[in-house]
Amino acid sequence: MKFKIWRQADANTEGHFETFELTVDPEASLLESMDAINESLVKKGKDPIAFDSDCREGICGCCGLVVDGVPHGPVPKTTTCQLHMHHFAGRDEITIEPFRAKTMPIIKDCMIDKSALERVAKAGGFISVRTGQQPEANSILIPKKKADEAFSYAACIGCGACVAACSNGAAHLFTGAKIAQLLALPQGNPERSSRASAMVAQIQKEGFGGCSNEGECEAVCPKQVKTGAIAAMNREYIRSIFVK
């Protein structure tokens, strides 16, 4: 199989696609195939392809690759590291490149800088209320519907696929997931107004675009985070203007 992979020395250097050939194992993951290509390059004394990965279990959000034009690849609800070569049966070429967004610049090859998303999360995606000693787990009763709602938003792994898929480069699904997750829990209510205003201000400061409700973000999200998170973020931001 041919692998057409993006190579770029750094953010200021013009990049290009380079083609590699590999006899693939159908049960190997896409990243394992890239590992095999890198082993071959190292043996030849050449520079290996730079790309991010960590857990390789669909949890960390590091593997930010566009595969055949789709963030994380053509298989829905799947991170890049969970793509296996049998998903490409019948194909003889795969195109691999990094996520593309002004706010996530290329570091090298297929490795990008996602620190802007981290700064958005640090702006308000947490609870800082001092609770003292650890309370009894059942002292605050949370309805299952609310707990499930919080969990569905907490599933966001911050991979940045939503930003890469958005024609405006918006981070609203990511930001909304962080806000909606804490909004669903009683512990998140004391800081709800300051959280929304701080995180929205940060996405504007970072230069992320605005949401035009086209839905590409939800379509490529590997954890199925729904655009209801964006609606929750907008409501909370408007509320924060009037409730201090």
100, 66 in Cβ contact below 8 A? yes
Q: Report the CATH number of the 2-108 domain.
A: 3.10.20.30
pLDDT of residue 244: 67
pLDDT of residue 119: 98
179, 76 in Cβ contact below 8 A? no
Q: Where are the domains of the chain?
A: 2-108, 114-242
Task: Quote the pTM value.
Answer: 0.93
CA 111 – CA 7 distance, rounded (Å): 10
pLDDT of residue 64: 84
What string of DSSP letters covers 111-145?
Answer: EE--HHHHHHHHHHSS------SPPPTTSS---HH
User: Is 114-242 a domain of CATH 2.60.450.10?
Assistant: no
pLDDT averaged over consecutive 10-residue blocks of the chain (244 residues)?
97 96 95 97 98 95 94 95 94 96 97 97 89 73 93 96 97 98 92 95 97 96 97 96 84
Which of 183, 11, 138, 162 minimizes the C-alpha distance to 72? 162
Fold match between domain 2-108 and domain 114-242: no
